[in-house]
Amino acid sequence: MDFEILDILTPLGFTLRVLLAIALGFIIGLERQWTRHEAGIVTNVIVCVASFGYTAFSYLVDPDANDLTRIAANVVTGIGFLGTGVILRDGANIRGLTTAATVWASGAVGLLCCVDDISFAIILAAFVVIAHLLLHPLSVYIRKKRKHSRSQHRSHETVLQKTRSKLRLNGPEKREYDEDDDDEDEEEHDTAPV
């Protein structure tokens, strides 16, 4: 396949790659917005385009530069800072980790829009969206099961605690024996104050 049209050093190639970054960021952001999460379409498009822009800058300034990983590392650092702003703490719960990870992945997609073979960017964006669509329902299912299990565990603990406290208040278990004239019909009755 002839990738000359996508040469990042030409205005047409640069424009097509920016449009690709916009489209892929849009697809990732659409899933987040559709499922009513933070950082939807606009955030993911901007992160994807910005990470493309920083990486493209290094190509435009020095097309023969061999150390493009430094630019990528700095982009990742910046996106990490952005991701921490998305993560919220609500008591013991932490929210926004998936959204922060999605923003981070959008940055990686933007970086990949700069490589010669843009199919890597498309593949990564597709897997990010597929992961959300397939794994999110599984995650919700597991979370609901865990909550149900935790509430059952708590209710059993509550019953056990109440029983123990009543036993402590009322003393240890008492055993009563009824003695009849007939030794063979000895009955044992266990009683415990509850």
Would you state the pLDDT for residue 172? 59
CA 161 to chain centroid: 36
Calpha distance 158→179 (Å, rounded): 38
Please give the structure tokens belonging to residue 63.
């097309």
Q: Which residues of 106-124 are buried (b: 16+ CB within 10 A; e: fewer)?
A: bbbbbbbbbeeebeebbeb
All residues at 6 or more sequence positions from 106 whose CB lies less than 8 Å from its CB, including other chains: 24, 25, 28, 29, 43, 44, 47, 48, 51, 128
Please give the structure tokens belonging to residue 118.
């843009």
137 vs 186, residue with greater confidence = 137
3 vs 122, residue with greater confidence = 122
Per-residue confidence band for 127, with pLDDT thresholds at 50, 70 and 90: very high
Would you state the pLDDT for residue 154? 57
Other beta carbons within 10 Å of 41? 17
Model pLDDT for residues 38-88, shown as the tens digit of each residue: 778 888 899 999 988 888 888 888 777 767 778 888 888 888 887 777 777
Calpha distance 122→112 (Å, rounded): 9
87: exposed, middle or buried (Cβ count in 10 Å: 0-12, 13-18, 19+): middle
Q: Spell out the alpha helix ranges (H) of 87-173.
A: 97-112, 119-170
How confident is the model over 111-120, as a mean pLDDT? 88
> What is the percent of the chain with per-residue pLDDT over 90, rounded to a whole number?
15
How confident is the model over 84-106, as a mean pLDDT? 80
Does the pLDDT of residue 30 top 70, yes or no? Answer: yes
R_g of the chain, CA atoms, integer Å? 31
> What is the percent of the chain with per-residue pLDDT over 70, rounded to a whole number?
77
Calpha distance 142→136 (Å, rounded): 10
Does the pLDDT of residue 19 top 90, yes or no? Answer: yes
Per-residue confidence band for 99, with pLDDT thresholds at 50, 70 and 90: confident
